[in-house]
Chain A
């Protein structure tokens, strides 16, 4: 059974800092890994998707890396801003024999960026 762990559970930083969020997973036979952002009381917004054959993806101030063999991913946020305050979730996809797929989510890292 796939298990996804995110560390730290919460993080508070001053504006302008660079920061790293960590995600680990137990079953390395993943199809891809996605990072999401969730604002309070809202749905999830996809930030980055890394295919299993890729090592990293970048979007603006965000960079996500994937080391499938060790079961780890990091999300790097450069020059953090108060608007980055949210919960960040990592999810891995495993394919099933039925032809469907299943995403397993971590518990999330709650990020607060202080002005």
Chain B
């Protein structure tokens, strides 16, 4: 079966712009969680969605937002981009809660902010 698909894989933006990243989970998975990975901070939790509801949010500013659709696909948006937002953004899906089951990660979306 298809894995977790993230698009786009690579993108370059300039400061002040906004970006939307997409994540399609494994078929049947209802939980989608997002992580930011940077060399300095490692992997940090952004948010978790389940059945179109945000269950949990990490310690990120309001510029970071997300949503989940009825088909479990999820998007995250970052507005007013800053240089420090350059990172690999990873999405993971699981059957139910992200903590109870094995997570399957996508390949990530690498964002560069100039």
Contact = CB atoms under 8 A, between A and B. Distances in A.
Contacts, number: 69
Contacts of B56: 96, 98, 100-102
Given A41-B110, A99-B55, 16 more contacts: A32-B99, A42-B107, A43-B107, A44-B90, A44-B92, A44-B105, A49-B102, A100-B48, A100-B50, A100-B97, A101-B48, A102-B56, A103-B99, A103-B103, A105-B42, A107-B42
Contact of B90 (A31, A43, A99): A43
A105 B104 CA distance: 15
A45 interface: yes
A-B CB proximity, top 9 nearest: A101-B99, A100-B55, A100-B56, A93-B99, A43-B105, A105-B43, A44-B105, A43-B107, A46-B102
Contacts of B100: 31-32, 93, 101
Interface string A71-115: 000000000000000000101011110111111111110000000
A98 B104 CA distance: 23
Contacts of A95: 99
24 contacts: A32-B99, A34-B102, A42-B108, A43-B90, A43-B105, A43-B106, A43-B107, A43-B108, A46-B102, A46-B103, A46-B105, A93-B98, A93-B99, A95-B99, A98-B56, A99-B55, A100-B97, A101-B97, A102-B99, A103-B33, A103-B103, A105-B35, A105-B42, A108-B42
Interface in B8-25: none
A103 B43 CA distance: 10
Interface of B: 4, 6, 33, 35, 42-45, 48, 50, 55-56, 58, 90, 92, 97-100, 102-108, 110
A62 B87 CA distance: 30
A111 to B, nearest CB: 16
A89 B92 CA distance: 15
A96 to B, nearest CB: 6
Contact of A102 (B6, B58, B105): B58
A37 to B, nearest CB: 10
A48 to B, nearest CB: 9
